A and B are shown apart, each in its own frame.
Chain A
């Protein structure tokens, strides 16, 4: 591997290259830690997290998401920074990272720092560099904002333990849902070395919690918890496998979040699938919906999918899909059912369910009240009763409800613009183009106007 750091690169060039390389990391949350500033430096942290901007892909910009360096000794097939790619290689210095973070933070551009890295020389060396930068930021600059770092698989557990004491969140990327996929696409990485630091961080957090019970002022270890990320659609796993992996990670590794990243074919490697329709965004969306069902709605992976039905319904979200397969438990009486049951009704989310449970203590709720509370009635009305009555005269039949749900169609978020109709006017021609002259309009006006009349 040749190292070519040209001395003349400006911070603009570096930021360009290293943020461009970091953008495929999904996590950008700044949540999970509530910390007031101590008045001696800069920064604090809010438990709910704060987004500071939204880029044109609609994802939030909360943290300054950069790589320490985009040099890498590994050759993972899906990665833009893999060794065999011919891209400009640059590295930050710890000092540069600190000034960038502080100057951005002062202007309220960001909520903190997200630092990942390609692997320079070896995992230990890289981890040590990251540690130096973060240590400087925390002590010299007295930065008390949010810091998220990637733990690099294979790094010495001692450095990870040290780093954990000064950051808010750590994450180890699972990369691909199964060990088999990993060995095919990332030949230098092994499932075992990925799970080891994950386990270490989990145990560190657990142990630290016990210490905090004893000594209130004990330093905290990764107080924001750990997260991970996996690529969806690069390997042939089913949705059921992916959801089961996620469920396992939540249960056995106490993860805060599992992120799914729709595979984007940057390298056009022959071992990677071609995606003529663009990245599998709808599939990613369904996985996130299911992920929320696992974490906040009390669902189990086996309830949503099984071996016989291994993939999500494209047209219906997983919750509506589940409800349609379990019509025997509907309709639910909103004024009497318990919280968990209400939570399973399509169109009622966590906030609405909590509000319902509180509000009904002061008297029976009507459909108008539900609407104000925030229930999506066009979806919920097939599944609920208010004081024993359904909203309309609807039948509890799978086909009937499916048909109706699909006509109000939860707008599939990823088609072009979603507008399939427009105001009809005699003088409109949908194919009208500004440059076309009268002649061309006379020749082919039939298609739209006549068709609609």
Chain B
């Protein structure tokens, strides 16, 4: 009988799921990891909820790190940030097939394996989106000098971009807000960054602050720069769309002031 382990959508939850799947000592083909509740239950299969456990998760993390090396571990972490519903099963099966290889460190090059391929694709999507965020994120200066950025990424990549901006702007107080998930990455000047989750139904105090006096000037200056730097004889909107997907523009300063004038 097929067995579905339902685990919570987090690194801890999925790693605990992998631990429990191994602990069952059954054929891996019969076991599946399900992230979050299933709304369409399958016939002839058993569902079991798994409680996340940090000790078990740490053991799995250590094994993955030791056996697959840095590259494999990072790929798994990036895949975990994905919003794909099948990520749990893909990671679990990828770990199983990786550990069966003679040299598990080469697991990520075994792209002919469907689960490795899936993890590779998820990891690539997360990594690409994290990079897009690093490129297209826009800060606005609030009246008290805090830099505030709104974003809405598909994958949960906030933790991948925070180190970049902390290194880049060490003397700034800045906040990156993932609106879709209601989480904030906070960086106080000269200190380490951290992530907090929005309380349900409570307005963030940030929305009460006004923009700083210089903000409008620099937004306008950059928007003007953005338009003058284009060479008219070479206009190629299709190329622009390929390089800068439309869904990011909602958050970008240069597309706000004048709606992308011709």
Contacts and interface: CB of A to CB of B under 8 A. Distances in A.
Interface in A351-409: 355, 358-359, 361-363, 365-366, 369, 372-373
A138 to B, nearest CB: 16
A139 B230 CA distance: 32
B141 to A, nearest CB: 7
Nearest to B236: A58
A20 B117 contact: no
B147 A55 contact: no
Interface stretch (B15-23, B81-89, B103-111, B199-207): B103-111
Interface in B228-243: 228-240, 242-243
B226 interface: yes
A361 B111 CA distance: 10
Nearest to A417: B238
Nearest to A265: B233
B252 A37 contact: no
B193 interface: no
Contacts of B234: 57-59, 262, 264, 279, 281
Contact of A279 (B221, B229, B233): B233
A60 B243 contact: yes
Contacts of A363: 112
Interface stretch (A101-109, A226-234, A324-332, A340-348): A101-109
B170 interface: yes
A55 B230 contact: yes
B253 interface: yes
B262 to A, nearest CB: 8
A65 interface: yes
B168 A107 contact: no
A441 interface: no
B149 interface: yes
Contacts of A54: 239-240, 243-244
A50 interface: yes
B228 A369 contact: no
B220 A39 contact: no
A286 B233 CA distance: 18
Contacts of A51: 135, 243
B169, B172, B222, B226 interface centre (most CB from chain A within 10 Å):
B222
A37 B112 CA distance: 40
Given A53-B136, A362-B110, A106 B243 contact: no
A394 B138 CA distance: 51
A56 interface: yes
Given A50-B135, A61-B226, A11 B240 contact: no
A42 interface: yes
B222 to A, nearest CB: 5
A355 B120 CA distance: 12
A362 B112 contact: yes
Contacts of B218: 103-104, 107
B254 interface: yes
A107 B214 CA distance: 12
Contact of A53 (B110, B139, B141, B252): B252
B224 interface: yes
B139 A15 contact: no
A219 interface: no
Interface in B106-140: 106, 109-113, 117, 131, 134-140
Nearest to A366: B112
Interface residues of B, number: 56
B235 A107 contact: no
B104 to A, nearest CB: 12
Interface string A101-139: 001101111000000000000000000000000000000
A42 B240 contact: no
Contacts of B137: 108
A212 interface: no
A107 B141 CA distance: 8
B167 interface: yes
Interface in A289-346: none
A278 B227 CA distance: 20
Nearest to B225: A19
A37 B136 contact: no
A53 B169 contact: no
B99 to A, nearest CB: 14
A64 interface: yes
B171 interface: yes
B221 A107 contact: no
A43 B244 contact: no
Interface string A41-73: 111100000111111111111001100000000
B221 A369 contact: no
Given A362-B112, A372-B117, A24 B231 contact: yes
A53 B226 CA distance: 8
B111 A369 contact: yes
A19 B243 contact: no
A16 interface: yes
A101 to B, nearest CB: 11
Given A53-B136, A109-B253, A362-B106, A15 B224 contact: yes
A278 B231 CA distance: 12
Nearest to A45: B168
A52 B221 CA distance: 15
A134 to B, nearest CB: 19
Contacts of A264: 231, 233-234
Closest 6 CB pairs of A and B: A58-B239, A358-B109, A55-B230, A57-B234, A58-B236, A54-B244
29 contacts: A15-B224, A15-B228, A20-B228, A23-B230, A37-B168, A39-B190, A40-B171, A43-B168, A51-B243, A53-B136, A53-B254, A54-B240, A55-B230, A56-B235, A57-B232, A57-B235, A58-B243, A59-B234, A61-B229, A64-B225, A106-B139, A107-B140, A107-B141, A279-B233, A281-B234, A359-B111, A362-B110, A365-B112, A413-B239
Given A53-B244, A264-B233, A373-B111, 11 more contacts: A22-B229, A23-B230, A52-B136, A53-B135, A55-B227, A56-B227, A58-B236, A104-B221, A104-B222, A363-B112, A417-B238
Interface of A: 11-12, 15-16, 19-20, 22-24, 36-37, 39-44, 50-61, 64-65, 100, 103-104, 106-109, 145, 262, 264, 278-279, 281, 355, 358-359, 361-363, 365-366, 369, 372-373, 413-414, 417
Interface of B: 101, 106, 109-113, 117, 131, 134-141, 147, 149, 165, 167-172, 190, 214, 218, 220-222, 224-240, 242-244, 252-254, 260
